[in-house]
Amino acid sequence: MTTMTTVRTTRLALMALFAGAICIGFSPILVRLSTVGPMVTAFYRVFLALPFMLAWMLVDNRNVADLSTRKLVWSDHLLLLLPGVFFAGDLGFWHWSIKLTSVANATLFANFAPIHVTLVSAVLFGERFNRKFIAALVMSLLGAVILMSSSASVGNEHIRGDVMAMITAVFYAGYLLTIGRLRSRYSTGTIMFWSSLTTSLILFPVSWFTGVFAMPDTSTGWLMLFLLAWVSHLGGQGLITYALAHLSTAFSSLSLLLQPVISAMLAWMLFGEALGPVQIAGGLVVLAGIYLARKSSKQP
Is residue 255 within 8 A of residue 144, CB to CB? The reply is no
Q: Is the model's pLDDT at 151 over the cut of 80?
A: no
CA 64 to chain CA centroid, nearest Å: 24
Helix (H, G, I), strand (E, B) or coil at 213: coil
Averaged pLDDT, 60-64: 70
Q: At what angle do helices 188-209 and 74-100 cross, to 10 degrees?
A: 50
Instruction: Give pLDDT tens digits for 5-56.
Output: 677 888 899 999 999 989 988 888 888 888 888 889 999 999 999 999 999 9
Torsion 71-74-76-82 (CA) sign = positive
Ramachandran class of 272: left when φ > 0, alpha when ψ lies in -120 to 50, beta otherwise: left
- Per-residue model confidence as pLDDT tens digits over 175-224: 999 998 888 788 889 899 999 999 999 999 988 887 678 889 899 999 99
Buried b (16+ CB within 10 A) or exposed e, 135-151: ebbebbbebbbbbbebb
Q: For the chain, give the percent of residues with pLDDT over 70.
A: 86
Distance CA 283, CA 290 (A): 11
Torsion angle of alpha carbons 118, 123, 124, 125, nearest 10°? 70
| Per-residue confidence (pLDDT) for residue 68, from 0 to 100 | 45
For residue 168, the model assigns a pLDDT of: 92
What's the full length of the chain, in residues?
300
Torsion of CA 115, 117, 121, 123, to 10 degrees: 50
Q: For position 300, what pLDDT does the model report?
A: 37
Q: Which residue has the higher pLDDT, 149 or 131?
A: 131
Domain range summary for the chain, segments of one domain joined by +: 3-129+154-247
Q: What is the pLDDT of residues 68-91, one digit of tens each?
A: 445 666 667 778 889 999 999 999
pLDDT for position 67: 45
Q: What is the torsional sign of CA 188, 190, 194, 200?
A: positive
**What per-residue confidence (pLDDT) applies to 69?**
47
Nearest-CA neighbor of 167 among 95, 258, 244?
A: 95
- pLDDT value for 33: 86
Most confident of 22-31, 118-127, 168-177, 242-251: 168-177
Check whether 156 has a pLDDT greater than 70.
Answer: no
CA-based nearest residue to 226, from 2, 49, 25, 10: 49
Angle at which helices 103-110 and 74-100 cross, to 10°:
150
Q: How much is the pLDDT for 158?
A: 67
Angle between helices 74-100 and 38-47 (to 10 degrees): 140
First to last CA, the chain: 13
Residue type, 96: W
Task: State the Rg of the chain over Cα.
Answer: 19
**Residue 185: which H helix or E strand, with range?**
none
pTM for this entry: 0.84
Distance, in Å, from the CA atom of 295 to the CA atom of 300, rounded to the nearest integer, reads: 10
DSSP states of 187-237 as a string? -HHHHHHHHHHHHHHHHHHHHHHTT-----SSHHHHHHHHHIIIIIIIIII
Identify the pLDDT of residue 196. Answer: 94
Give CA–CA dist 22/15, Å, rounded: 11
**What is the CB neighbour count within 10 angstroms for residue 165?**
26
pLDDT band at 4 (very low <50, low <70, confident <90, very high): low
pLDDT given at position 264: 76
